Amino acid sequence: MTGPDAPAALRATGLGFRYRTRGAPPLRDCGFTVPAGHITALVGRNGAGKSTLLHLAGGLLRPRTGEIRVLGDLPGSPRARARVALLTQDKPLYPRFTVADTLRMGAKLNPAWDQPAAARIVEEGDIAPDARVGELSPGLRTRVALALALGKRPELLLLDEPLADLDPVARGDLMATLMAEAAEHGTSIVLSSHVLPELEQTCDWVLLLRDGRIALSEDADALRDSHVVVTGHLDQADSLDGPPGPEGAARRHTVVHRRVSGRQLTALVRRRGLLRGEWHVEPAKLEDILVGHLQADATAGPTTAGARAEAAA
């Protein structure tokens, strides 16, 4: 259930935020719903507003316009603070604390603290309990910060580029930990990441920011089912327009992004009905879909096939 009455991990209406410095606002008139119980990929180019959105959801910032709710509560409220954990890019930890001190602090601050879970994440990284946090490598500090976040046993876990400091093996291990956490405890996870291939098998909901606005908020499987990558001769680009609707209105496929090489057209298409013409059609991977929507013109939006072919020629 994903309608207006569905349980929501995140829900925003007219959400906007602007920093006091000059420049375009990072978020403008954002409205979306992320259902509870999902692992959500928060995707966008640098400066799209991903960190700002997570800081708003975590209660570190307040909206300039509109509203955002986490698990039905206002971010920063006592109920929200008890139910939500936010791991930011800078991973604020006390550098002079030992790892054991850090976990003891977590236990004192969080009534639902899960010591075995937090200790397991630390032990899997071969981190000595008496090691000082400030002397750990960035990757090991990330593991300690994640142990602190998961030990809180949150209902909603917000992660801002959490795996950037880790090597590929450690990233795979921690992604597996996050998937197990979601499956076993029903934890809702919103994960901001630039490593798109790693989201393919992990995330089941997509929240895509483009130019400060929400471009996608959809189920990942539904996106895969509706998108294809087509390749064919440029002259038949008009055939990507769908057949007429029942009342004579044009029912068109949406070409999200296209690339022309000579007279060959390769396009990411969100199709509505059958494709006409002689096209080589392949299923789109989630990475193809995300990159295509990030490359789409955020101002004009995806165009119809005929207009695109005219512009390409």
Element (H, E) at 190: strand 188-192
Q: What is the rounded CA–CA span in Å between residue 267 and residue 242?
A: 15
Q: What is the rounded CA–CA span in Å between residue 122 and residue 142?
A: 10
Q: What is the mean pLDDT of residues 78-86?
A: 94
Residue 306: DSSP 8-state: H
Max avg pLDDT among 163-167, 217-221, 235-239, 262-266: 217-221
pTM, to two decimals:
0.86
* Confidence at residue 303, expressed as pLDDT on a 0 to 100 scale: 44
Pairwise pLDDT comparison (284 vs 240), residue with the higher score: 284
Backbone angles phi, psi at 68, to 5 degrees: -130, 140
* Confidence at residue 6, expressed as pLDDT on a 0 to 100 scale: 54
Q: What is the mean pLDDT of residues 185-195?
A: 90
The amino acid occupying position 303 is T
Percentage of residues of the chain with pLDDT beyond 70: 88
Pairwise pLDDT comparison (18 vs 5), residue with the higher score: 18
The region of weakest confidence among 33-37, 190-194, 271-275 is 271-275
> What are the pLDDT digits (tens) for 148-159?
999 999 999 999
Q: What is the mean pLDDT of residues 214-222?
A: 96
* Confidence at residue 180, expressed as pLDDT on a 0 to 100 scale: 87
> 254 to each of 211, 228, 242, 243, 268, how far by Cα in Å?
20, 11, 9, 13, 9
> What are the pLDDT digits (tens) for 14-48?
999 988 776 656 899 999 999 999 999 999 998 88
The amino acid occupying position 29 is D
Q: What is the rounded CA–CA span in Å between residue 144 and residue 124?
A: 11
Question: 31 near 13, Cβ under 8 Å?
Answer: yes
Checking if the pLDDT of 146 tops 60, the result is yes
Percentage of residues of the chain with pLDDT beyond 90: 62
In the block, tokens 């998937």 appear at 179
* Confidence at residue 3, expressed as pLDDT on a 0 to 100 scale: 47
* Confidence at residue 310, expressed as pLDDT on a 0 to 100 scale: 37
Q: What is the rounded CA–CA span in Å between residue 154 and residue 112?
A: 9
Q: At what angle do helices 138-151 and 168-185 cross, to 10 degrees?
A: 0
Pairwise pLDDT comparison (106 vs 194), residue with the higher score: 106
Q: What is the rounded CA–CA span in Å between residue 21 and residue 127?
A: 41
Domains and CATH numbers, the chain: 8-210 (3.40.50.300), 223-312 (no CATH)
> What are the pLDDT digits (tens) for 162-176?
877 778 888 888 888
Q: What is the mean pLDDT of residues 62-67?
A: 95
Tokens of 246: 């029942």
Instruction: Output the DSSP codes for 138-154.
Output: HHHHHHHHHHHHHHT--
Question: 306 near 242, Cβ under 8 Å?
Answer: no
- The CA-based angle 185-191-193, given to 5 degrees, is 150
Beta bridge partners of 189: 39, 157
* Confidence at residue 31, expressed as pLDDT on a 0 to 100 scale: 96
The amino acid occupying position 141 is R
In the block, tokens 């960190």 appear at 51
Closest-CA residue to 256 (of 240, 280, 279, 239): 240
* Confidence at residue 237, expressed as pLDDT on a 0 to 100 scale: 84
Q: What is the mean pLDDT of residues 134-138?
A: 92
The region of weakest confidence among 20-29, 68-77, 244-253, 255-264 is 244-253
* Confidence at residue 242, expressed as pLDDT on a 0 to 100 scale: 53
